[in-house]
Amino acid sequence: MADITVEELSKNFRMRRPAANGRVKAGALARLLTPRPVVELPAVSSISFAVAAGERVAFIGPNGAGKSTTLKMLTGILRPSAGRAEVAGYVPWQQRRQLARRIGIVFGQRSQLWYTLPVRSSFELLRRIYDVDRARHRERLERLARTFEIGGLLDRPVSELSLGQRIRCEIAASLLHGPGLLLLDEPTIGLDVTAKAALRDHLGEMSRAEGTTVLLTSHDTGDIETICDRVIVIDHGRLLLDQPLERLRREFLQHRAMTLVTAEEHPRLDIPGVAVAAAEPYRLSLNVDTARMPVEKVVAAALAQLSLRDIVIENPPLEEVIKAIYRDGIGRKEMPHATG
C-alpha cells in the first residue's frame, strides 16, 4: 500500500515586484500609493510520484528547486495550486490535523524545542500535543533515547546543546508519538561531518528497526547514500529523475572528487579509472571512478608515488549530479568531467 501518492501537484506563489529603487520620481506620497505589479512564480510544476510503506526516499535538488514546497504540501502546511495528493490515506491540506497524528515532521532550520528549558520539558509538552498516554510516552522515549543517544541530554537546556545534539533531539521529538511516516526537511543542514555521519546512522537504524517510511529532502548527496533506497531528483520545480539508489549510484554517484596536496611542484599520477580534473603546482584534482578503482587503492597508489601533504575526498556535489542528468540523460554512466 502506498503511503504517499502525488499526482500532477503544482504550486505557484503570487508576489509583488519590488518597487523600482534609486530614483525620486513623483514624490514620496505618490510613490507610496502606486501599486506594484503582481507576478506568479511556479515553485513546483506538475510532479507525480508514489512512495510505498516502509520505503526510504530522498527528495533531492539544489536550493530553490521546490523540494521543501513539495514537502510542505504533503504535510498540509501549504495548499497546492493544482493537483492531487494523499498521505497516509488523508488529503493533507483538507485533513491536516488528522494527518499530523500519523506523521512526524522535522524542519532542519526550525526548532520545536523550548530554547531555555530542558529537552524533557518540550517532550512532555509534545506528549500533550499528540495526546500520548504516559506509559507509552515513557517507553517510546526510552527507545528513542537509546537509538539517538540522547539519554544524557534530556535534562539539559536546549540552549546548551550543540547543533548536532539539538537536531538529534528534534528528530526524536518528532517520533515520540510513533508516526509511521517521517518527513525530514534538510535534517543535516549546517552540521559538521561527524554530526552528519552520526545522524545518518541513527536515522537509518531507526527506520530499519521500526519499518518507518522516510521521505527526506536534502541537497547533500551523502544523506541519500546512507539513509535512502530510492531517489527523486527535482530541479526548477520539475521532477527530473525517480529511480532506486542503486541505479543512481551506478550512473551518477560512482565518482569521487579527490584533491591531493603534494610536496612535488608538478605531481603526476597514472592509475586506470582515475581522471585528472585539474593539475596545479603542488596540487592534483582527480576524478575517481569507484566502479573501476576503489578509493582505498587510489590512496595507496598516491601514497606510493607521491609525497602527500594533504588529501581531500568528496562526494560529487549535487549540482554536478544534476548537470550530469541534464547533459547525459538517464542511463549514461560517466560524470561530465570524468573524461577530462
List residues binding other proteins (CB under 8 A).
13-16, 18-19, 21-22, 24, 28-29, 31-32, 41, 43, 68-69, 72, 75-79, 96-98, 100-101, 103, 105, 107, 110-112, 114-117, 121-122, 124-125, 128-131, 157
Q: Which residues lie closer than 8 Å to 76 by C-beta, 6 or more apart?
A: 92, 93, 94, 95, 96, 99, 100
d(CA 255, CA 161): 36
CB of residue 334 vs other proteins: minimum separation in angstroms?
Answer: 36
With b for 16 or more beta-carbon neighbours within 10 A and e for fewer, the 295-316 pattern comes to: eeebbeebeebbebeeeeeebb
- Report the residue number, 99 or 203, with the smaller CB distance to other proteins: 99
265: nearest Cα among 301, 299, 307, 304: 307
CB of residue 320 vs other proteins: minimum separation in angstroms?
Answer: 25
- Report the residue number, 11 or 200, with the smaller CB distance to other proteins: 11
Per-residue cell: 45:
510544476
Q: Tell me the CA end-to-end span of the chain in Å, nearest whole number.
A: 46
- Report the residue number, 129 or 263, with the smaller CB distance to other proteins: 129
- Report the residue number, 158 or 253, with the smaller CB distance to other proteins: 158
Q: For residue 151, how far is the Cα from the chain centroid?
A: 26
- Report the residue number, 15 or 278, with the smaller CB distance to other proteins: 15
173: nearest Cα among 106, 109, 101, 97: 106
Q: Identify each DSSP E strand in 74-136 by its residue range.
A: 82-87, 103-107
CB of residue 224 vs other proteins: minimum separation in angstroms?
Answer: 23
CB of residue 21 vs other proteins: minimum separation in angstroms?
Answer: 5
In this structure, what DSSP letter does residue 110 have? Answer: -
- Report the residue number, 113 or 286, with the smaller CB distance to other proteins: 113
